[in-house]
Structure 1
Amino acid sequence: MACGEIIDLAAAVSHFEPVRLYTRPEDIPLAKSMLSNTTRGSYEVDIIPFATNHLWVRDTGPVYVQGTTASSEKQRVAIHFGFNEWGRKEPAEGWPQMTADQIEENHTFGKRVTDSDNDSSSLISITSKLCLEGGALVSDGDGTLIVSESSIIGDERNPGLSKEEIEAELRRLLGVEKIIWFPGFRDLDVTDVHADAEVQFVRPGVIVISRPYASAQKEWHEVYQQVMDVLRGELDAKGRPFEVHTIDEPDAKLILNSASGHEEDPATNYVNFYYVNGGVILPKFGDQEMDRRAMETMQQLHPDRVVKQVYVNALPLTGGVIHCATQPVIEVE
């Protein structure tokens, strides 16, 4: 079922921009067959045979930014943050144990992606001393970065590095001027509370925050309050106060009821959407009222973009949604 949702996501994105779909070689025939039965856009979906064991390319893949050469020419830069299974997490109960070779494949995935890039001549590849995942980083592209302490600071990912040292490296690599931290919770989920599940920038100065459903675990309500408290009265890198909007999460029981025997909390964050060229790909979870409200809010916030919803039911049960499963490859302007 998750495979079908990934195919649907790839097809939806292809209405706006080209797609690279990294697929294990043995799964290529299935991927091609499933893709042939979907309604694709005018852009190509390139199915690439690749050794991979996670669909969360936001975390395992390179983080692309725009850099400047010594001669002031703009250049695409791929940053590798040393993925280590979200702080060396063990697979959840009921999930298969990975071999040492599979773990190494995950660790090297981002580097192998850039090494195989057909346009690698215009790419600079940088390996950071930091260990973190792309989902931990929420940036406005204008100097402001939002992150959680629980998903970056600590011996599980960055032993011996202080908060100040981590900030210095993030500033160096991402070109950010202001870093806003919220506490988060260690071990609340596999990511230790990635920022991209809680908050996203609509544009510089405008933010949308995920508000948990009433019956959600109390710690998620505390995370929501952490983010609200941190941003209240805060200014961004350019001195702008934040305009804050909220999107209510759906009733997770609607997803759990369709997954017999599954008891863990699914990821049901509408803010885990993906920006495409000229559009937004927004999750649709099956809670008709909440899906409708999320769609209306996003349309109001993005009058100049097409908002397209993609139904997801299996992906949330594996720990992520649309933003987690995508990674943009920026075009140098």
Structure 2
Amino acid sequence: MALCLLPEWHPQDAVQLTWPGPDSDWAPLLANIEATLETLTVAIARYQPVLIAVPDDATRTRLAEAFRHRGVPAERLFLKVAEADDTWARDHGPLTVERDGELVLLDYVFTGWGGKFPASRDDSLTRRLAAAGVFAAPLVSHDLVLEGGALESDGQGTLLTTGACLLNDNRNPHLDRAAIEARLAEQLGAERVLWLAHGHLEGDDTDSHVDTLARFCDPRTIAYVRCDDDTDPHHPALAAMEDELRALRRADGEPYRLIPLPWPAPCFDAEDGRRLPATYANFLIINGAVLVPTYGDAADARALTALAEAFPDRDIVPIDCSTVIRQHGSLHCLTMQLPRGTLTGARRHEGETS
């Protein structure tokens, strides 16, 4: 293919994270989320490098020392000072395409999910990292409002997404479905766009990002959220989404292999009582492993088993995301993979943490 949005299972140079500062929404939970991010970083570093955007030099110095004590090899840690509004690297990080055999990083407009939250520093973060020489591949900016969590790629020209997000008037109101598809074809090489019309999680600020609902595991397999509690208010919409997934066909006309993921018990914010969008679909694929969010729920073990079936050749690594979910996101939302060949120094200058 001349142009393709690389799938998550493509070999990676690193995973990008954004570390929270004391002025972020994480302030009341800062110690807790930092502990979770430390655990996540250590887990990823067992397999590949981690690039972390940090708010200031003091945090950079503190984290370099903390990870040294936790045994993270220096060549697996890249700490760069770049202020941000929040931690959701999936949505302010770059998307990577392969164009005529060359890698290109794409920078899209991020508006805090349709203007719900401040996002100016998040929106400029990728460009600031590029200006600092972090990336080995060229960066191209587009004026389309688009978040990484809104798209799933099979690496063969098919994208999976939701109409509730990409067609929402709070993103690109001047573009209809045909115009959005034309942009995805031109910029990401989409030959087919599979639209899900159903599926929603209460407490989800993203307007139904597909990475909370249904995920490509390989070009033939989709893991998805199934609500097996017919008394839960999510049941009708997720049952309708399941029917949609069953009706989808691959480019060769064959149905997808579908792997249902279990439904955790409802969890609620202790302060405002809002339901939190806990989902096992928010997993992260890295080199040799799949990191899976867990919530201290009885369904955690079943989710790990289901994803082991989907990824028989990768380690399945649970990450406790009970703190992450309190800000209405989860593991995949915190991360953005950087495919092999995109990170400066990933192989040539190992040992740097500057």
Normalised by the shorter chain, which TM-score bucket? 0.7 to 0.9
Deviation string for 1:178-223 (max 9, x for gaps)?
A: 11111257995210010000011111111110124738862x3344
Q: Is the 8 A contact 1:14 1:42 kept in 2?
A: no
- 21, 26, 32: which one aligns with 2:52: 21
Partner of 2:111: 84
Q: Aligned AA for 2:103? A: R
Identity across aligned pairs (percent)?
25
CA contact under 8 A between 2:290 and 2:316: conserved in structure 1?
A: yes
| Conservation of the 8 A alpha-carbon contact between 1:145 and 1:178 | yes
Specify the alignment match of 1:71 in structure 2: none
User: What does residue 208 of structure 1 align with?
Assistant: 223
Counterparts of 1:21 and 1:249, CA distance in 2: 31
2:131 to 98, 105, 115: 115
Q: For residues 58-96 of structure 1, what are the alpha-carbon distances to aligned partners after superposition, in whole Å with 9 as ceiling and x for unaligned?
A: 10111112221xxxxx21111122001101114xxxxxx
- Give the TM-score normalised by structure 2: 0.80
Match of residue 277 from structure 1: 287
Count of aligned pairs:
309
Other-structure match for 1:93: none
Matches of 1:326 and 1:215, distance apart in 2: 32
Cα-to-partner distance string for 1:123-144 (whole Å, 9 max, x where unaligned):
2322223211100001111221
Matches within 5 A, 1:1-333: 1-25=32-56, 26-32=58-64, 34-36=66-68, 38=70, 40=72, 44-68=76-100, 74-90=101-117, 98=118, 103-120=119-136, 123-184=137-198, 189-212=204-227, 214=229, 218=233, 220-253=234-267, 256=268, 260-287=270-297, 289-332=298-341
Unaligned runs of 5+ in 1: 69-73, 91-97
**RCO higher in structure (CA 8 A, sep ≥6):** 2
Deviation at 1:146, TM superposition (A): 0.9
Structure-1 separation of matches of 2:201 and 2:308: 34
Q: Residue 130 of structure 1: SS of its match in structure 2?
A: strand
TM-score of the two chains, using structure 1 as the length reference:
0.85
Mapped contact 1:75–1:332 kept (Cα < 8 A): no
Over the aligned positions, Cα root-mean-square deviation in angstroms equals: 2.4
Q: 1:284 touches 1:312 (CA, 8 Å); kept in 2?
A: yes
Q: Which moved more, 1:234-243 or 1:128-137?
A: 234-243
Alignment partner of 2:167: what SS?
coil
